[in-house]
């Protein structure tokens, strides 16, 4: 089931009209929709917020002991992900919280540890830092520190992240790597609508606390054929979206689409065969798939929007170096945001766009 749904098909340009959002000056990538999967039954065209909405709808309808809460979620939330849920499930199960991120997450941990499926929304990933302590010290360590007597695995925290074209300092960051330093958490980032629904359902049902980062530019722009039914996509498993032999490109979230386009250009213009991997789960990450790929290609680029230093690319690079040393034909390269705050007016320049990635590919191939 999973391979079918994850199989990527090269239909990018033809589908531009479906999304209807490409006129946006801001988008620095071309969205590559998922292939239609027949195995999961009937599908409908949904963008990412609708897919996420559908996942929560399923959870609330099937699991009577589940709740959804966060700032303004009763009204559908800033990005409409929870729209209609309050009307369908009532204010006891879908509710607005006051403005208090630390409280929201702590409250969610409490709900979860007492057995309730808790889906908390933090309005922007940039606003999750007040809850850092709750996530790192409470959620991540609950099972471990209680000798497995208690856990808060029923907690899922959803939050929008990454660049959106005009978000400036506090509506653009990709803070995933901060949380990767907390063993016990799972950190997941979908690349579009279809993956978002399946992965969110997996996060909600996974017996570990999960942080689900939603690249906010995808909410409207990412339109896929999304199965109407319930389906789960595996956590901790990367997706090989394009197979190739010369170089491995690794990314997650929005950046996957940049890499897919880069692979197309590299192939067409330079005859370079790229293997593109969507890491999907950032913690714990699928080392096996990455290692296998780099042993085959001998070269690797990791690309993310977050700044270079301490980005998760550093961890992946170090691991590749350890595991694939004798297979490497060139150094491993990270193509990332700069070590600067996320800029207000230089977003386009800041982002690790396709040209920067292509440049890196050429340098590594000619190394």
Ligand X SMILES: Cc1ncc(C[n+]2csc(CCOP(=O)(O)OP(=O)(O)O)c2C)c(N)n1
Give residues in contact with other proteins (CB under 8 A): 71-72, 74-75, 78, 96-100, 102-103, 126-127, 129-130, 166-171, 307-309, 333-341, 343-346, 349-350, 352, 355-356, 359-360
Instruction: Select from ligand X, other proteins, none the partner in contact with residue 338, using the beta carbon and a kind-dependent cut-off of 5 to 8 Å.
Output: other proteins
The minimum distance between CB 71 and ligand X, in angstroms, equals: 5
Q: Work out how close the CB of 75 gets to other proteins at its nearest, in angstroms, rounded to a whole number.
A: 5
Q: Which does 335 bind (CB under 5 to 8 A by kind): ligand X, other proteins, none?
A: other proteins
The answer to whether residues 94 and 231 touch, using CB atoms and an 8 Å cutoff, is no
What is the Cα–Cα distance from 82 to 123, expressed in whole angstroms? 12
Spatial contact of 142 and 155, defined as CB atoms under 8 Å apart? no
The entry of other proteins, ligand X, none near residue 341 (CB within 5 to 8 angstroms by kind) is other proteins
CB 295 within 8 A of CB 329: no
**Of the two residues 123 and 353, which places its CB atom closer to ligand X in the complex?**
123
- By a kind-dependent CB cut-off of 5 to 8 A, residue 299 interacts, out of other proteins, ligand X, none, with none
Q: Shortest distance, CB of residue 96 to ligand X, whole angstroms?
A: 10
Of 28, 32, 138, 171, which one is the catalytic site residue?
Answer: 171
Neighbours of 352 (CB within 10 A): 26
- What is the C-alpha separation between 285 and 50, in angstroms, rounded? 27
DSSP letter, residue 11: -
Q: Which regions of the chain does DSSP assign to beta strands (E)?
A: 43-47, 66-70, 94-96, 117-121, 155-161, 186-188, 210-215, 223-227, 239-242, 247-251, 274-278, 281-283, 300-307, 333-337
Torsion angle (degrees, nearest 10) of CA 60, 66, 71, 74: 40
Q: Choose the one of ligand X, other proteins, none that binds residue 167, judging by a C-beta under 5 to 8 angstroms depending on kind.
A: other proteins
Both tokens of 275, joined, read: 């293997």
Q: How far is the CB of 127 from ligand X (least distance, A)?
A: 4
Per CB under 6 A, residues contacting ligand X are: 71, 99, 101, 123, 127, 130
As measured in angstroms, the least distance from the Cβ of 343 to other proteins is 6
| Residue 171: active-site member | yes
Q: Which of 235, 252, 288, 289 is nearest to 174 (CA)?
A: 252
Q: How far is the CB of 40 from other proteins (least distance, A)?
A: 34
Kindly tell me which of 174 and 194 has the beta carbon lying closer to ligand X.
174
Sheet (strand 333-337) strand order = 239-242, 274-278, 247-251, 300-307, 333-337
Choose from other proteins, ligand X, none: what does 350 bind? Cβ within 5-8 Å by kind.
other proteins
Instruction: Please identify, using beta-carbon distances, which residue of 139 and 226 lies nearer to other proteins.
Output: 139
Set 28, 32, 71, 101: catalytic member: 101
Instruction: Decide whether 33 or 167 has the Cβ nearer to ligand X.
Output: 167
Reduce the DSSP state of residue 281 to 3 states and report it.
Answer: strand
Which residue of this chain has its Cβ atom nearest to ligand X in the complex?
127
Q: Is 101 an annotated catalytic residue?
A: yes
Which residues does 26 contact at the CB level (< 8 Å), separation at least 6? 164, 165, 166, 217, 347
Active site members: 101, 171
């Amino acid at each position: 089931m999973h391979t079918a749904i994850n199989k990527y098909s090269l239909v990018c340009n033809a589908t531009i009209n479906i999304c209807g959002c490409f006129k946006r000056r801001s988008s620095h990538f071309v969205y590559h929709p998922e292939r239609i999967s027949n195995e999961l039954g009937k599908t409908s065209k949904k963008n990412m917020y609708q897919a996420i909405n559908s996942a929560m709808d399923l959870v609330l309808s099937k699991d009577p002991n589940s709740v959804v809460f966060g700032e303004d979620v009763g009204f559908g939330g800033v990005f409409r992900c929870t729209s209609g849920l309050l009307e369908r499930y009532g204010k006891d199960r879908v509710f607005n919280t006051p403005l208090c991120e630390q409280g929201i997450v702590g409250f969610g941990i409490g709900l979860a540890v007492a057995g309730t499926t808790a889906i908390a929304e933090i309005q922007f990933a940039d606003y999750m830092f007040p809850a850092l302590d709750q996530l790192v010290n409470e959620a991540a360590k609950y099972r471990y520190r209680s000798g497995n007597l208690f856990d808060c695995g029923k907690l899922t925290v959803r939050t929008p992240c990454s660049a959106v074209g005009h978000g400036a300092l506090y509506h653009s960051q990709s803070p995933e790597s901060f949380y990767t330093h907390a063993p016990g958490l799972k950190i997941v980032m979908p690349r579009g609508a279809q993956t978002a629904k399946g992965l969110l359902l997996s996060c909600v049902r996974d017996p570990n606390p999960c942080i689900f980062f939603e690249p906010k530019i995808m909410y409207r722009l990412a339109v896929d054929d999304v199965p109407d039914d319930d389906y789960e996509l595996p956590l901790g498993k990367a997706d090989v979206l394009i197979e190739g032999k010369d170089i491995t490109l690794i990314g997650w979230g929005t950046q996957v689409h940049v890499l897919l386009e880069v692979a197309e250009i590299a192939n067409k213009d330079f005859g370079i065969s790229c293997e593109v991997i969507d890491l999907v789960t950032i913690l714990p990450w699928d080392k096996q798939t990455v290692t296998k790929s780099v042993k085959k290609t001998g070269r690797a680029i990791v690309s993310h929007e977050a700044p270079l230093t301490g980005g998760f690319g550093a961890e992946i690079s170090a691991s590749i170096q350890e595991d694939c040393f004798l297979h490497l034909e060139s150094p491993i390269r990270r193509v990332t945001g700069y070590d600067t705050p996320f800029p207000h007016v230089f977003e386009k320049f800041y982002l690790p766009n396709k040209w920067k990635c292509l440049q890196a590919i050429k340098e590594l191939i000619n190394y």
